[in-house]
């Protein structure tokens, strides 16, 4: 098939007729398939079901420091969980705090604390007229939702293949004292699967913020979530880079085992400089007596060490890789020659970012919904849900079974074609 | 032994000499015993160890609504956990939200949300010049720590045997719009074990707050934590009373299974009116994708229903009751006739509140520490750690084994006597 832009009006009408017939037939099948979020599949959850057998009524419930994990105490995490997560996050064991089940919750609490108490002694943000966060786009909707909830103004920063546009980041951070943070998913980014280049990470570490309480929110959610054994991205460790650059306190690093073990029943952590952690502790010791140590113990004993976790991630990859390939093949085969869209082939993470012609994304997602296929809301990858170009769609291949996914992609490419033809016809 | 006040100076000196010899001997034993917190004992934790066998790799992990509890989703708790906790909290199943492991964390987040976002549309508290909370005293130090952390002014309200002094509560709440909340542990209160009378609860429900965003923080931490089968306190259900009184939105109710199953690995919940819960959800859906559903499932299947939980609480009581009796017997036998202190015999909860002569509590706790016995810090039961009379000491009998506890009480009564004699001698 030739590029759509080269087709005559009649040729487009003919194509539209054929595709519409196909679409109507699919619609009549009353499918329902939810691909809106990056949820692991049941097969992936089965991989770690042994986690449920680690602790039984006969287990020794003491952690390495001799504390009975069934009782109160140990605010910052048991030693073996700290060791495991610090290896996973590539940070020293004394620069990490273990939390409950959700790194999103840790990020929320971090912003909330800055609102009411400032950062290491700075003016509480709620006392300021204006607080801004930089938001590399497309990005993660739940990050943007946190800053929106707190009335923080969000500034779009375009992503490049090396990470956020660092010229813009430097311009804002180094000059505007209202800029207090930037949301980053630096490895296999959500939704593009982009990994920040060494130069990008170093430029982050060398920022000279106008605001002393500026922090990089480094959500390394997909740090070990590779799709291939032989094609992996590498990310410079930001805490060490910031320290080398003389800015040890400039970054908060977040991660969790949500997409390693069970989402919702995993273990989250935050890593930061000793001074930042001291600041965090002041809140934490008031907020809770401690997080779920039994779940920490369960995780630490299940994986034993980092090599156990890496081995598990290979099994996840074996399930995820074919799904990503189904999506990428469908896009390439059905849309590759049409000149109406683009996408990035990621080496890890949970998403494929798809870009339609400008002004088509909302209509494509709506059309897919008509046929029973629920995609992530168009616009969700931008602050305030507003994609200025209306072109970005996040594809989440992890949850459906392979057959379902093939069918879903059939519907998706059909919707892309139909919506695009409609747009082209309107312009002719 | 006659009352100390009736002894002559010489008799007091003689008594002091004998007690000091005893104390020095005990001190030489180098004991270390931490009775500072209300921690369950290992024997209590063993009661619920079967909780660890409920979910195995072969279990059906779907909750009643068919959701796979291992995956993301279900923000407010799975149906069976909601049912169990709503029975426990005596509230309708649609007026409850299930959280993570810590009700303290829920309370903290509730105050934090009010600071940044107000309550059901009210002005955020961080925008106000002055916010006050009423604090029935003696009370729970971790409550007071939350309000202190947020710079909220705390006003002491004396406890009576029927609960807080309601004349004072009404005076403050109904007239001062800066009063936004009151901390309550209404049943088997921390530390006195007092249960609010029906009249007290009704007077709470009939408050007419000067501030529309005033809320009662009803921390029913010990709702089913009876010590006796035949002597139990009853507490009117506050949500229903507030609704009857035409103030359905005036109360937040909190509880958890922390002292029913495993502290730190239990399930917490909040109950409130539909309007309050709608307000809470606006924050919650931003803060997290969901709490640990597997732990919810584990709890629901372990207890099956409320009768399972009640049966378990009887077993806890069988372990706790003798310990309370050891403390009460020691106090009665050793101090009952001396006219130098008072205490309350509770029918449930985790503590015994002891009152020394004014000005003695800090010295008694310090003296005990000298002998290796760690009590709750004197003053901890008052806002800002300041007991105006310096007389209240919280005794936490749950953790030590019975023998240890007997020994601890021997030390404690010795310290009470020695410190009191010193005070009386100084005054003679």
Q: Are A131 and A125 in contact (CB under 8 A)?
A: yes
Count of C-beta atoms within a 10 Å radius of residue B115? 23
- Check residue B354 and give its pLDDT: 98
Name the band, by pLDDT with cuts 50, 70 and 90, for residue B428: confident
Q: Which residues of B fall within a CB distance of 8 Å from A268? A: none
The mean pLDDT of A152-158, rounded to a whole number, is 98
Name the band, by pLDDT with cuts 50, 70 and 90, for residue B124: very high
Judged against a pLDDT cut of 90, whether residue A428 lies above it is answered with no
A261-282 as b/e, with b when 16 or more CB fall inside 10 Å?
Answer: bbbbbbbbbbbbbeebbebbee
Q: In three state form, how does the secondary structure of A114-135 look?
A: HHHHCCCCCCCHHHCCCCEEEE
> What part of B 327-386 touches A (C-beta under 8 Å)?
none
Express each pLDDT in A328-373 by its tens digit: 999 999 999 999 999 999 999 999 999 999 999 999 999 999 999 9
- Check residue B376 and give its pLDDT: 93
Which residue is closest to A265 within chain B, CA to CA?
Answer: B292
Q: Given an 8 Å threshold on Cβ–Cβ distance, is B295 in contact with A291?
A: no
Name the band, by pLDDT with cuts 50, 70 and 90, for residue B37: confident
- Check residue B427 and give its pLDDT: 87
Q: Are A107 and A271 in contact (CB under 8 A)?
A: no
Express each pLDDT in A251-261 by its tens digit: 999 999 999 99
Determine contact: B102 vs chain A, CB below 8 A.
yes
Express each pLDDT in A371-383 by its tens digit: 999 999 999 999 9
* Alpha-carbon distance B386 to nearest alpha carbon in chain A (angstroms): 18
Q: Which residues of B fall within a CB distance of 8 Å from A263? A: 70-72, 289
Q: Given an 8 Å threshold on Cβ–Cβ distance, is B295 in contact with A40?
A: no
Express each pLDDT in B159-201 by its tens digit: 999 999 999 999 999 999 999 999 999 999 999 999 999 999 9
> What part of A 300-329 touches B (C-beta under 8 Å)?
none
Which residue is closest to A50 within chain B, CA to CA?
Answer: B57
Listed in sequence order, the DSSP H helices in A38-165 are: 42-47, 79-88, 103-117, 141-149
Determine contact: A118 vs chain B, CB below 8 A.
no
Judged against a pLDDT cut of 90, whether residue A427 lies above it is answered with no
Q: Given an 8 Å threshold on Cβ–Cβ distance, is A105 in contact with B52?
A: no
Q: Which residues of A fall within a CB distance of 8 Å from B40? A: 71
Determine contact: B142 vs chain A, CB below 8 A.
yes
Name the band, by pLDDT with cuts 50, 70 and 90, for residue B2: confident
Judged against a pLDDT cut of 80, whether residue A1 lies above it is answered with no
Q: What is the CA radius of gyration of chain A?
A: 23
> What part of B 38-67 touches A (C-beta under 8 Å)?
39-40, 42, 45, 49-53, 55-57, 59, 61
Q: Given an 8 Å threshold on Cβ–Cβ distance, is A288 in contact with B45?
A: no
Q: Are A318 and A120 in contact (CB under 8 A)?
A: no
- Check residue A37 and give its pLDDT: 87
Number of A/B CB contacts below 8 angstroms equals 163
């Amino acid at each position: 098939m030739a590029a759509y832009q080269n087709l005559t009006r009649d040729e487009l009408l003919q194509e539209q007729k054929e595709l519409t017939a196909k679409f109507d037939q699919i619609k009549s099948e009353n499918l329902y398939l939810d691909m809106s979020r990056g949820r692991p599949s049941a097969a992936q959850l089965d991989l770690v079901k042994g986690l449920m057998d680690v602790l039984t009524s006969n287990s020794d419930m003491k952690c390495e420091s001799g504390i009975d994990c069934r009782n109160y105490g140990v605010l910052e995490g048991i030693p073996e969980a700290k060791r495991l997560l610090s290896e996973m996050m590539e940070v020293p064991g004394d620069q990490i705090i273990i939390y409950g089940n959700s790194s999103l919750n840790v990020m929320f609490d971090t912003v909330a604390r800055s609102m009411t108490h400032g950062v290491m002694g700075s003016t509480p943000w709620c006392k300021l007229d204006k607080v801004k966060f930089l938001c590399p786009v497309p990005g993660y909707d739940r990050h943007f939702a946190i800053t929106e909830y707190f009335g923080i103004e969000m500034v779009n920063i375009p992503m490049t293949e090396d990470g956020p546009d660092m010229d813009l980041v430097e311009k804002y951070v180094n000059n505007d004292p209202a800029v207090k943070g930037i949301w980053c998913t630096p490895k296999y980014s959500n939704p593009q699967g982009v990994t920040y280049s060494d130069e990008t990470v170093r430029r982050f570490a060398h920022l000279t913020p106008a605001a002393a309480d500026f922090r990089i929110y480094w959500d390394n959610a997909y740090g070990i979530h590779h799709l291939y054994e032989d094609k992996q991205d590498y990310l410079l460790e930001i805490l060490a880079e910031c320290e080398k650059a003389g800015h040890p306190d400039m970054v908060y690093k977040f991660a969790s085992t949500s997409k390693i073990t069970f989402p919702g029943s995993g273990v989250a952590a935050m890593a930061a400089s000793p001074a930042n952690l001291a600041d965090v502790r002041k809140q934490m010791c008031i907020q809770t007596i401690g997080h779920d140590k039994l779940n920490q113990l369960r995780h630490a004993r299940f994986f034993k060490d980092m090599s156990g976790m890496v081995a598990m991630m290979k099994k996840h990859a074996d399930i995820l890789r074919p799904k990503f390939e189904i999506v990428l093949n469908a896009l390439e085969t059905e849309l590759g020659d049409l000149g109406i869209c683009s996408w990035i082939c990621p080496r890890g993470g949970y998403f494929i970012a798809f870009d339609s012609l400008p002004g088509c994304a909302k209509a494509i997602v709506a059309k897919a919904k008509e046929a029973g296929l629920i995609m992530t809301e168009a616009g969700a990858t931008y602050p305030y849900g507003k994609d200025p170009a209306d072109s970005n769609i996040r594809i989440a291949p992890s949850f459906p079974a392979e057959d379902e996914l093939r069918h879903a992609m059939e519907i998706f490419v059909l919707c892309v074609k139909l919506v695009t033809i409609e747009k082209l016809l309107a312009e002719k």
